[in-house]
A and B are shown apart, each in its own frame.
Chain A
C-alpha cells in the first residue's frame, strides 16, 4: 500500500503566482535579540496576565504570563534578562491595545530547568519516543502541551490543548496534519517539514495518541514534492506506513484553509459556525506538531518560531526567531529593504495583515514577513460580473457583502452568510473593479458581532 495518495481540490480555487523564493533555503538562526516585546495575547481566547514585575530577572523558558481561563495558553520568556518595561501595543489584527512585557536580554540565554524526560536525546530516536509516549496518559500530555504554551501555528493561534480535547459526544475519526502552505511567498512550513521532519512526525504521533483517530493524513501541496518524498521515506523508515498517509494535493489557493481541506480530503462540509470536530475531524499545522513534540518530550516551551522573510529584502531567508523579536531585526538580518517596498505584511499576501511600523514583534502566529511595493487601489463600481462568486471556495456571493456593507445594511450581509466567509481574499483578488471586499466583510462581521 502506498503512503502517498493524490487528490484534487474539491472547491473552486485560485492558481496564484507562488513566488516561493526561499523554498530551498535552510533555516538560519537569528542571533539573540537585545530586547524582546511580548504582547500578552498570543492566542485566540483569553488575555494573559503578567506574572512578572518591572525589574524582575527572568530565565529563558520561564513562564511570564498566564490566564485561568480555559481557552488560553501561557507565555514564556524567550530570552533571559530583566523585565525592563510594561507597555501597551496595538494588536494589528484587531486594532485593540494590549498589554506587553519588554525584556532586555542579558545575552547569556540561561534556561530554566526543563525537566526533560530521561532517555531521549533527539527526535531521531523514534522508538524511544514511542515507548515514552505510549506510557504517558493523554491527560498528562495535554497538560504538558498547555504548560508549554502551544497554540495553532498556522496563523489562527487557537490553544492546542483545547483543540485536542473535543467534547466527549464528538467522535473524532480523522486527524489531518496541514502542510499545505497555500499562500504565496511563505516557505516556513515547507522548511519545517524538511528540516524538523522527525519532530513533526513525533508530534503527530503524540497527537494521534491523544485523540486516537482512525485515519491520520498529512496534507501537502504538490509544489513541495521534496517534502512529500522526504516524509514518505521517513514514514517507511519508522514503520508507520499503516498509521500515517500523505495526501498530495494540487496547489490551489486556499487549499490550506481547514474547511476547504476537509472538503477536499474527506468530502465533508463543516457546518456554518461550526468547527472541524463537528464533522469528526481535527486539523493541525505542521509547526504545531513539532511544538507538541517539544512540549511533551523535551518539555520545552514555545519560545521560537520559523519565519520566512521575503519579498523586497536583499537576502530573503527562512529564520528561526525568538518570539518578541522586533520585525526590524529580521529585516536587517536579511540585508534590509531593497527596492521601493512601502508595504510591510505580517503573513502572506492574501491574508496577511499590513502593519505600519517595524517595531512590532514576532508573535506565536507569525509565519512570514513580506515586504512589497503596495498597489494603488482605485475602487470602481461593481459590474456584477460574478467572478467573485466563481472564485469563492465557500460558495458565497461576496459581491453582496460589498454592496450591503457599503451602505451599512449589515443585516442583509447576514442573509448571504457573511459568517461563513473565511476571508481568504480570493474574491478581491479576481475582482475587476478592485473592490476591497475583505475590508467590507471585516466591517460587516464587526458590526454584526456588536449587535
Chain B
C-alpha cells in the first residue's frame, strides 16, 4: 500500500483533474437528515409515551412507506436511489402530524402521496415546492376529513381510548384552572396530533437543531411571535394559542425545511411573519380550528417569489458611499 514511488519526467504518470476546492467539509445532506431525525426522536418519544403502541405502528408504517415509495419511484425514473434519510424524515414528520386513531392504510396513502406526488413528481429532493409531509397531511384531511379530526385523550399504553377534542376546537373544554391547562399543554397531556401535543419535547428537539445550527432561528421566532401578537390583538389567550395545536412542531420542524423555505435571512423573516399571520387568520376566522398546516403550505407557494426578490447586498456594491464616509472621516 504505502510504497513510495519516484516519478520521472515523461512517464505515463497521470493524475485526476477536478475543480477546486480539493477538500470538503464532509457535512453531507444525509448527515443533515439524520441529525434532524435525531432531534425528532424527542417529540417521537413523547408521541409514543402518550399514545402508546398505535403511535409506534403509525410511525413505522409511515416511515416504511415513505422510504419504499422513494425507492420504487427512483427505480421507475431510472435514477440512483440514495438512502439520504430525507424520505425517512418526511415519513416521520407525517406520522407526527396525524391523529392517534387514524387507520393504518390511510397513513400509508398519506405517506405515498407525500413522496410520490409532493416530492418526486416535482423532481425529488431539492425540487419540491411544498413540504412533502404537510402536503401529505393536507391530502389526507381533504380526503378523510372525519378520520382526520377524530381526537382522543392520551391513551398511554392502554387500549381504552377516550374521545377528547384538540384544544383549539370549539368543543374543547378543560376542567381545572389555567395553570394546570398550561401544564398539560406544555407536557403534552392533551388531545391532538401525535407529535404536536408535548411542547416540552418539541422544544428539546428544536434546541438541538438550533444549537447545532441546523436550523435558523429566524423562521420559528418570527412565526411564533406573530401568532402571539395576533392572538393578543384579537383578545385571545396568548400562551394557550402558542402552545396548543401544531404551532410548535410546525414552526420548528416544518417551516424550517430548507427546500421549501426562503434561503436568505430577510426572506426567512418574511416567511415566518406570513405564516404567523395566516395561522392567526385561519384559527380565528377560518372554517378549521387549526391553521398551521395550510399557512405553511401557502407560504411554501410564496417561497420562490420571495427568493426571487430578496437578494443580498454583495461586498463592494455600495462602495461609493463607503468611500465617501471614509473621506468625511478623514477631513
Contacts of B216 in A (CB 8 A): 386
B80: nearest residue on chain A (CB-CB)? A378
- State the Cβ distance, B149 to closest chain A Cβ, in Å: 33
Distance, CA A396 to CA B261, complexed state (A): 19
- B77 in the interface, Cβ–Cβ < 8 Å? no
Cβ of B124 to closest chain A Cβ, rounded Å:
6
CB-CB under 8 A for A383 and B29, given A343-B22, A358-B13, A389-B312: yes
Across the interface, do B263 and A389 meet the contact criterion of CB distance under 8 Å?
Answer: yes
Interface residue? A353 (CB, 8 A)? yes
Residue in A272, A374, A383, A430 whose CB lies within 8 Å of B18 = A374
* Complex Cα spacing A381 to B24, Å: 17
Distance of A335 Cα from B313 Cα, bound (Å): 49
A411-434 residues with Cβ-Cβ distance < 8 A to B are: 415-417, 420, 423, 425, 428-430, 432-434
Given contacts A374-B18, A382-B126, A429-B25, contact A332 B7 (CB under 8 A): yes
**Which residues of chain A have C-beta atoms less than 8 A from B319's C-beta?**
268-272, 274, 278-279
Kindly identify, within residues 245 to 303 of chain B, every residue whose CB is under 8 Å from any CB belonging to chain A.
Answer: 258-259, 261, 263-264
Judge whether A110 is part of the interface by a CB distance below 8 angstroms.
no
A359 within 8 A of B: yes
Question: Does B14 have its Cβ within 8 Å of any Cβ on chain A?
Answer: yes
Report how far A328 CA is from B319 CA in the complex, Å.
45
Contact with B15, one of A269, A342, A381, A436 (Cβ below 8 angstroms):
A342
Q: How far is the CA of A268 from the CA of B123 in the complex (A)?
A: 43
Q: Which of A76-84, A244-252, A344-352 contacts B (4 or more CB under 8 A)?
A: A344-352
A91 to chain B, nearest CB (A): 14
Residue from B18, B261, B322 in contact with A343 in the complex, judged by beta carbons closer than 8 Å: B18
- B21 contacts A337, CB within 8 Å? no
- Whether B315 contacts A343 by the Cβ 8 Å rule is no
Question: Which of B22, B84, B124, B263 is close to A374, meaning CB atoms less than 8 Å apart?
Answer: B22
- Among residues of A, the one whose C-beta sits closest to the C-beta of B19 is A439
CB distance from A290 to the nearest CB of B (A): 27
Give the shortest distance, in Å, between A403 (CB) and chain B (any CB): 10
CB < 8 Å: which of B7, B24, B258, B316 contacts A434? B24
From 1 to 44 in chain B, residues with beta carbon under 8 angstroms from any chain A beta carbon are: 1-2, 4-11, 13-25, 27-29, 31-32
- 0/1 string, A225-242, CB within 8 A of B gives 1: 000000000000000000
| A343 to B18 CA separation, bound complex (whole angstroms) | 9
At the interface, yes or no: A163 with Cβ under 8 Å from chain B?
no
Contact B9 A326 (CB under 8 A): yes
In the bound complex, how far is the Cα of B21 from the Cα of A386, in angstroms?
18
Q: Which A378-417 residues have C-beta < 8 A from chain B?
A: 380-386, 389, 393-397, 399, 415-417
Q: In chain A, what residue has the closest Cβ to B16?
A: A374
State whether the Cβ of B311 lies closer than 8 Å to any Cβ in chain A: yes
B316 pairs with A338, CB closer than 8 A: no
Contact residues in A for B8 (Cβ distance below 8 Å):
328, 332
Name the residue among B10, B17, B82, B127 with the largest chain A CB count within 10 angstroms: B17
With A16-B23, A432-B29 in contact, do A268 and B18 touch (Cβ < 8 Å)?
Answer: no
B58 to chain A, nearest CB (A): 27
| Most chain B beta carbons < 10 A, residue from A269, A349, A397, A434 | A269
Q: Say whether A354 contacts B125, CB under 8 Å.
A: no
In the docked arrangement, what's the CA distance between A430 and B21, Å? 10
Does more than half of chain A's interface fall in helix, strand or loop, or is it mixed?
loop
The answer on a CB contact under 8 Å between B22 and A349 is: yes
Nearest residue in A to B267 (C-beta to C-beta)? A386
Q: A397-B263, A432-B32 are in contact. Are A351 and B4 (CB under 8 A)?
A: no
**B residues within 8 A CB of A356?**
14-17
Are B263 and A352 in contact (CB-based, < 8 A)? Answer: no
Which chain B residues border A438 with CB–CB below 8 Å? Answer: 19-21
B314 on interface, CB distance cutoff 8 Å: yes
A429–B5 alpha-carbon span in the complex (Å)? 30
Q: In the docked arrangement, what's the CA distance between A263 and B319, Å? A: 11
Please determine whether B4 and A338 come into contact, CB atoms closer than 8 angstroms: yes
Find B320's partner among A259, A266, A271, A382 (CB 8 Å cutoff).
Answer: A271
Interface band, chain B:
35 or more
Residues of A within 8 A of B318 (CB): 269
Given A16-B23, A358-B7, does the pair A380, B82 have CB atoms closer than 8 Å? Answer: yes
Contact (Cβ within 8 A) B23 A336: no
Is B31 touching A432 in the complex (CB atoms < 8 A)? yes
- Pairwise interchain contact A395-B23, C-beta atoms closer than 8 A: no
Which of A274, A335, A352 contacts B22 (CB under 8 A)?
A: A352
- Indicate if B323 sits at the interface (CB-CB under 8 A): yes
Q: Is B317 an interface residue (CB 8 A)?
A: yes
One digit per residue, 1 when the CB lies within 8 angstroms of any chain A CB and 0 when it does not, for chain B 221-241 equals 000000000000000000000
Interface centre among B16, B20, B29, B311 (most CB of A within 10 A): B20
Give the complex CA separation of A386 and B219 in angstroms.
14
Known contacts A269-B316, A397-B263; A430 and B25 CB within 8 A of each other? yes
**Inter-subunit contact B125/A394 (CB<8 Å):** no
- Complex-state Cα separation, A438 to B22, whole angstroms: 11
Task: Among B4, B263, B322, point to the contact of A268 (Cβ < 8 A).
Answer: B322
How many angstroms between the C-alpha atoms of A350 and B72 in the bound complex?
Answer: 39
A56 within 8 A of B: no
Is there an interface contact between B16 and A342, defined as CB atoms closer than 8 Å? yes
Decide: B21 and A332 in contact? CB cutoff 8 A.
no
- A370–B15 CA distance with the chains assembled, in angstroms: 12
A272 touches B316 (CB 8 A): yes
- With both chains docked as a complex, state the minimum distance between the C-beta of B228 and any C-beta of chain A, in angstroms: 26
Tell me, yes or no, whether A339 is within 8 Å of chain B by CB. yes
Interface residue? B326 (CB, 8 A): yes
The answer to the question of A209 belonging to the interface, with a C-beta cut-off of 8 Å to chain B, is no
Question: What is the CA–CA distance of A269 and B316 in the complex, to the nearest angstrom?
Answer: 5
Q: Tell me whether A138 is interfacial, beta carbon within 8 Å.
A: no
A334 smallest CB distance to B (angstroms): 10
B29 and A395 within 8 A (CB):
no
Q: What's the nearest-Cβ distance from chain B to residue A182, in Å?
A: 13
The 5 A-B residue pairs with the shortest CB-CB distance in the complex, in nearest-first order:
A381-B126, A425-B21, A271-B319, A439-B19, A344-B15
**Between-chain CB contacts (< 8 Å), 26 pairs:** A271-B316, A271-B317, A328-B9, A337-B7, A343-B15, A343-B16, A349-B22, A349-B23, A351-B21, A352-B22, A355-B15, A358-B9, A384-B259, A384-B263, A385-B32, A385-B263, A386-B258, A386-B263, A394-B315, A395-B312, A429-B23, A429-B25, A432-B29, A432-B31, A432-B32, A438-B21
Q: A269-B315, A279-B326, A389-B264 are in contact. List 5 more A-B contacts (CB 8 A).
A: A331-B7, A335-B4, A338-B2, A380-B126, A385-B258
Binding site for B on A (CB under 8 A): 11, 16-17, 184, 259, 263, 266-272, 274, 278-279, 314, 326, 328-329, 331-332, 335-340, 342-345, 347, 349-359, 370, 372, 374-375, 377, 380-386, 389, 393-397, 399, 415-417, 420, 423, 425, 428-430, 432-434, 436, 438-439, 442
Which residues of B are interface residues toward A (Cβ below 8 A)? 1-2, 4-11, 13-25, 27-29, 31-32, 82, 84, 123-127, 216, 258-259, 261, 263-264, 311-320, 322-323, 326
